[in-house]
Structure 1
Amino acid sequence: MTNQTLTVGKNAVTFKSFGVDLAGDLYLPEGFDPSKTYKAIVGASPFPQVKEQIPATYGPEMAARGFIYLGFDYLGMGDSPALPGEFKQSRYNFRLIENTWDAVSYLGTLPFVEEIYGLGVCQGGATIASAAVTDHRIKKIALVSGMMAADAFQWTDRDMANQVITASNASMQKMCETGEPDYVAPFGLNDEMSREEFVSAAAYPAMAGETYDYYGRDGVKGPVAVPNYTNMHIGDQPMQSLFSIGEAYADKIVQPTLTIYGTSASTAICSTAFVAKLTNEHEELAFDEFGHVDFYYKPEAVKASTDAAAEFFNR
């Protein structure tokens, strides 16, 4: 139970995970009354985001629809510390799941929380789906532009996947031997590149422009707009992110599930292949007019996804 005085809108909070304090923002709806109970959402953001990106967009939107929303910086990201002896920008897949479980535990200590739901975007979709497999405190999940079934996206070009693994292995070895962090640009996008430089060299040309428009130096939520954010990341991260836990355990998920995606997105297969493996009560909402990154910030796409999630959670 928290002793903190909470007010309508954004509240800075912390909660324990792996023995350290993770930094979060708790969004409360208009007219919030601590003597009443509310439906709460744990939000999960795309790789390699911080709470000032997707959570800062979806938090106010879901609060405006009457929900409590928790967005937070995962271990080693943003305002959350790395573990002693480890390095910042080290967002590891399996730890994301445990951080999410601890976020659910935190929400469960709040006396005004009635039920807890999960809302994940991009990699956050995989995180929420994976966390929900064995955390039935999460009563429903909504997944937007989710990377739940990533095998077809990440492993179809086996040679490229193996090149990524080789580089990741080398990064881990280098850090062990030097004791220093080895930072890389996972998308090939660093904090200084222009849009033209990135698009011309991008490994995924179909998504390059929209990726830069959000994450790039001049992007709406890039390192200039969000000082707490960097595109650079610890180089051994793919050793975990290439495992697709949500896909492997889709048939074990019991919570009602809503999957939202854009049919034109190159990542649509990550949603459709996941839905095909679900055996629970589930719904699929596809938009022809939106791409993958549109759901991150474009008003019409965010409204479509948050309206749908709110209606789904309120049933």
Structure 2
Amino acid sequence: MEPLTFPNGQLTMAGNLFLPDGFDPQTSHPAVVVVHPGGGVKEQAAGLYAAKLAERGFVALAFDASFQGGSGGEPHHLEDPYARVDDVRAAVDHLQSLGYVDPERIGALGICAGGGYAVNAAMTDYRIKALTTVSAVNIGTSFRRGWYGDGPDAAAVPTLRAVAEQRTAEAARGAEPTYLPYVPTEPDENTPRDLVEAGDYYLTPRAQHPNAKNKFLFTKSVSRIFTFDAFHMVEDLLTQPVLVVAGSEAGSLWMSTELHGRARSPKKLLIVEGGTHMDFYDVPEYVDQAIAEATPFFAEHLAADDSAES
């Protein structure tokens, strides 16, 4: 693994590049951009998947989102879906600049909200030749309708009114910015199981990292998140093959099945029996199943075009 930085417009992005065993810089390699969950950093689930992909022969790049982790951008702790989609494009830019990466053999793998961002990036960036989502979350739809997707989009209105009030307080009265947690710090009996498990992942030594602060700016993030739909026009714009992996017990499963149902490109849905949303972050039984599917999927769709070489 090599730590690195790469440009994203005026920002400097922090990444970790994972190289295959016996790496030969004189050879052209396939590569995968790995996109971390909302609130995550490259050292957590994204880095785990990148390392496992490198073990299987791919160059893999995990990076911190702009405004988060070790990457640049102010105000920090901003969750901006549109910026995060641009982050994926910038990561592809960087991979294409590396002489040992085949610029025509780049894929993307996204976890949780990173899955939704990877989908949205692939829909408008056909340099991404193949796509895998793991425990995919369409962050805008999830924020509006709730974790289980059983609420109406209009359920977002009270929160947006609160955003307006807070912006007034900050702009007119000099109030300090407020932050929301990505995962609940004090779950109760009404907290979805997945989010309780998310707290165990992010807030304990299991995967806690000093750059993952479990907070995002309330006013500046929410107004962007609530209008975002990662799957908008997916039927028409997603042309690349997609592998969708999720657990049968995940409260977020509905987003993976929606993506698979709406996509018209070559697609495969793997529902792993017994798996929850968070199991695919670091539980070996489930991570290994996701990687076992993603490896031949990427090998097939990122294969070298021998006819083009000849």
Q: Is 2:166 the partner of 1:182?
A: no
The aligned counterpart of 2:304 is none
For 1:293 and 1:313, how far apart are their aligned partners in 2?
A: 23
The answer to whether 1:34 aligns with 2:28 is no
Question: Residues 188, 162 of structure 1: CA spacing in aligned structure 2 closer, same or farther, 3 A cutoff?
Answer: farther
Give per-residue Cα distances to partners, 1:117-175, cap 9 Å, x unaligned: 00000000110000001100000000000014863773243464223323333444444
Asked if 1:51 corresponds to 2:46, the answer is no
**Contact preservation (8 Å) 2:143, 2:226:** no
1:212/1:219 contact within 8 Å kept: no
Specify whether residues 137 and 173 from structure 1 end up closer, same or farther in structure 2 by C-alpha distance, changes over 3 A only. farther
- Aligned letter for 1:78? G
Query: C-alpha displacement at 1:289, in angstroms?
Result: 1.8
For residue 221 of structure 1, what is the aligned residue in structure 2?
A: 207
Aligned pairs, how many?
290
Higher mean alpha-carbon deviation, 101-110 vs 175-184, is at 175-184
TM normalised by structure 2 equals 0.87
The answer for unaligned runs of 5 or more in structure 2 is 301-310
Residues 148 and 183 of structure 1: is their aligned pair in 2 closer, same or farther, counting only changes over 3 Å? Answer: closer
Find the aligned partners of 1:43 and 1:28 in 2 and give their Cα distance: 13
Structure 1 moving runs of 4+ over 6 Å? none
**Residues 88-107 of structure 1 aligned to structure 2 (within 5 Å):** 88-107=76-95
Conserved 8 A contact 1:46-1:121? yes
Counting aligned pairs with the same residue, the percent is 28
Counterpart of 2:27, as a letter, is K
Check 1:31–1:274 CA distance in 2 against 1; reply closer, same or farther (3 A cut): same
Deviation per CA, 1:230-250: give whole Å up to 9, x if none.
112111212222234332121
Which residues of 2 match residues 3-18 of structure 1 at below 5 A? 10-18=1-9
For 1:286 and 1:154, how far apart are their aligned partners in 2? Answer: 25
Describe the shift of the 1:78–1:183 C-alpha distance in structure 2 as closer, same or farther (beyond 3 A).
same
TM-score, structure 1 as length reference: 0.86
Tell me the distance in 1 between the aligned counterparts of 2:4 and 2:24.
18
Q: Which residue of 2 aligns with 1:157?
A: 151
Match in the other structure for 1:239: 223
> Hey, what does 1:194 align to over in structure 2?
none
Matches within 5 A, 1:135-150: 135-148=125-138
Which blocks of at least 5 consecutive residues in structure 1 are unaligned? 1-9, 190-197
Backbone CA RMSD of aligned residues: 2.0
**How far off its partner does 1:100 sit?**
1.0
